[in-house]
Amino acid sequence: MVASRQRRLAHRAERGTTVVIVVLVITLLTAIGMFVIRTVSQIDQAVGFSRQSAQTNALAELGTTAAMSQIVVLGSYYTSQMDNGYQCLANGPYASTPGSTCYRLKQAEIESTTLGNTGHGLLETTTASDSGSFGSLASTTGFVSIELTEKYKTSTPKAGSVQGNGSDFDVTLTTTANVRPISVDPDPCGSNVPAVTIKKMLRAHTIVPGQPGGS
C-alpha cells in the first residue's frame, strides 16, 4: 500500500513537471515565431524604402535631363528670367540678396512641352495596359522641381557655335525629387498625409545658350 501510494505521488510529480516543460516550450516557440514575423516585416519594409529611394534617384536624374533638354530650346528665355528677383532654396541665405540669380522650373512647365511633343508626361500612371512609372502594385507618386541659379558668363563655347558670337552662360541646376504614397488630402501637412516620403537633390552644371550677339 505504501509503495503503491509513493508510486502514484511520483507519477503526479512527473506529470506536473511535464506540464511545466510543455508550457515553457510552447512559450519559447511562440516568442521565436513572433521574432521571425517581426524580422520578416522589417526586412520587407527596408526593401520597400530601398526601392522608393532608388525611384527617387531615378526621378531626380529624369528631371535634370528633361530640364536640360528644355533649356537647349528656350535657354535665352530662362537666363533672362533669372534676373527678375525670384527666390530659390538652392541659394540658401543669399536667396534674397540683390544680384542673386534664380528661376524655378516647375514640373508642370516641363510637362507642358513633353506632352505637346510626345503625348507623355514625366511620369506615367498605372492603366490596364501600362504598369506605370512606379509599378502596377505601387500606390506612390512623384514630384520634381528644378532651380536655375548661379548664372555667369562663360568663355567655354558650346558645340557648334562660333566663338565670340552670342553670350552663353554657365548655370547650376538643382533638382529636387520627391516620391511618396498617394494622398487625397489637399493639406500637405494634414493628418491623412503619409509620413513616409523620400527626397533627393541632384546638382548639375550646364551651358545655357544666351541671346545671339547679347551682352
Percent of the chain with pLDDT over 90: 1
> Comparing 99 with 64, which gets the higher pLDDT?
64
Does residue 188 form part of some domain? yes
Q: What is the pTM of this model?
A: 0.69
Residue 151: is it exposed, middle or buried by C-beta count within 10 angstroms (0-12/13-18/19+)? buried
Low-confidence winner among 6-15, 82-91, 140-149 (lowest mean pLDDT): 6-15
Q: What is the mean pLDDT of residues 149-167?
A: 66
Q: How far apart are the first and last CA of the chain?
A: 120
Does residue 213 form part of some domain? no
pLDDT exceeds cutoff 60 at 32? yes
Does residue 215 form part of some domain? no
pLDDT exceeds cutoff 70 at 163? no
The gap from C-alpha 75 to its chain's centroid, in whole angstroms, comes to 27
The string of DSSP letters for 43-73 reads: HHHHHHHHHHHHHHHHHHHHHHHHHHHHHHH
Report the residue count for the chain: 215
> Comparing 37 with 75, which gets the higher pLDDT?
37
**Residue 186 pLDDT class (50, 70, 90 cuts):** low
**Residue 130 pLDDT class (50, 70, 90 cuts):** low
pLDDT exceeds cutoff 50 at 214? no
Q: Distance (Å, rounded) from C-alpha 154 to C-alpha 72?
A: 16
Containing structural domain, residue 15 = 2-208
pLDDT number for residue 213: 46
Q: How far lies 149's CA from each of 9, 86, 129, 143, 202, in Å?
A: 90, 10, 40, 20, 13
Percent of the chain with pLDDT over 70: 69
Does residue 77 form part of some domain? yes
Query: Does the CA dihedral 14-20-21-23 come out positive or negative?
Result: positive
> Comparing 112 with 186, which gets the higher pLDDT?
112
Q: What is the mean pLDDT of residues 167-178?
A: 86
**Residue 215 pLDDT class (50, 70, 90 cuts):** very low
pLDDT number for residue 210: 67
> Comparing 119 with 151, which gets the higher pLDDT?
151
Q: How many domains does the chain have?
A: 1
